[in-house]
Copies of this chain bind each other. A is one copy, B any other.
Amino acid sequence: MSQVDISKKILSANDQIALQVQKMLDERGLFGLNVMGSPGAGKTSVILATAKALKGRLKAAVIEGDIASRVDADKVAAAGIPVHQINTGGMCHLDAPMVRDALDKLETEGADLLIIENVGNLVCPNEFALGARGRALIASVPEGDDKPLKYPAMFQDADAVVLNKMDLLPYIDFDLPAYRRLLLALNPDVAFFPLSCKTGEGVAEWADWLAQKAKGE
């Protein structure tokens, strides 16, 4: 019993700070997007492709979450996008206090969109609210078409699922219609975007959806 109580208290403290973060983002005119997915799904590539596709419409700032290294932040900075790197040490997800602290260090003047790349993990990041109004799960074709079945919570909680690396479909045994059916059975309201950051296929549709969402349309 005491374990459950402690866990509830921790979650509730996180949720309170998430509400603070959401207010901070609203005041700065930022739409927050919590980007989750497995290691290697291509979260950073999707973020870079999205920022490029939204050029002239919406300006993005990025918070990068990783266990270690600043590989991803360096890639984002090289594209001229304001970025702050969080290293969680061993922690397997971001939490609201980390995002609040990062917001103090990140220049968001003139930005409309705050993209928060969570730690690569398909199990639990969805359990920790970050104060973002949107949640996107980045999956990828090489991960296989059974992932929604094996990691249902992450797919159930997403506003949008992006299926990246569609360019690899010819080389992989992946049943796209079955994947779509499985996903919609778990999460009937989800927006689904198969795309390829390599070829650019499908990126515009995803970026359009995000732009509408960010503008509250």
Residues of A in contact with B (beta carbons under 8 Å apart) = 38-40, 66-69, 71-72, 90, 92, 119-124, 127, 140, 142-144, 146-147, 149-153, 165, 167-168, 171-172
Q: Is the CB of A67 within 8 A of B152?
A: yes
Q: Is the CB of A38 within 8 A of B120?
A: yes
The residue from B39, B67, B121 contacting A92, defined by CB atoms under 8 A apart = B121
Chain B positions within 8 Å of A72 at CB level: 150
Chain B positions within 8 Å of A71 at CB level: 146, 149-150
Q: CA of A143 to CA of B150 in the docked complex: distance in angstroms?
A: 18
Chain B positions within 8 Å of A38 at CB level: 38-40, 120
Q: CA of A92 to CA of B154 in the docked complex: distance in angstroms?
A: 12
Chain B positions within 8 Å of A67 at CB level: 123, 150-153
Q: How far is the CB of A73 from chain B (nearest CB, A)?
A: 11
Q: Is the CB of A40 within 8 A of B142?
A: yes
Q: Is the CB of A168 within 8 A of B142?
A: yes
Chain B positions within 8 Å of A39 at CB level: 38, 122, 143, 147, 150-151
Q: CA of A150 to CA of B73 in the docked complex: distance in angstroms?
A: 12
The 3 closest A-B pairs by CB, nearest first: A40-B143, A142-B142, A92-B123
Q: Is the CB of A150 within 8 A of B120?
A: yes
Q: CA of A69 to CA of B186 in the docked complex: distance in angstroms?
A: 13
Q: How far is the CB of A74 from chain B (nearest CB, A)?
A: 11
Q: CA of A144 to CA of B40 in the docked complex: distance in angstroms?
A: 6
Q: Is the CB of B68 within 8 A of A151?
A: yes
Q: Is the CB of A151 within 8 A of B90?
A: no
| 6 A–B contacts from the bound complex (CB under 8 Å) | A39-B122, A40-B147, A68-B151, A71-B150, A90-B153, A171-B171
Residue among A68, A144, A151, A172 with the highest chain B CB neighbour number at 10 A: A151
Q: CA of A168 to CA of B170 in the docked complex: distance in angstroms?
A: 11
Chain B positions within 8 Å of A152 at CB level: 67-68
Q: How far is the CB of A70 from chain B (nearest CB, A)?
A: 10
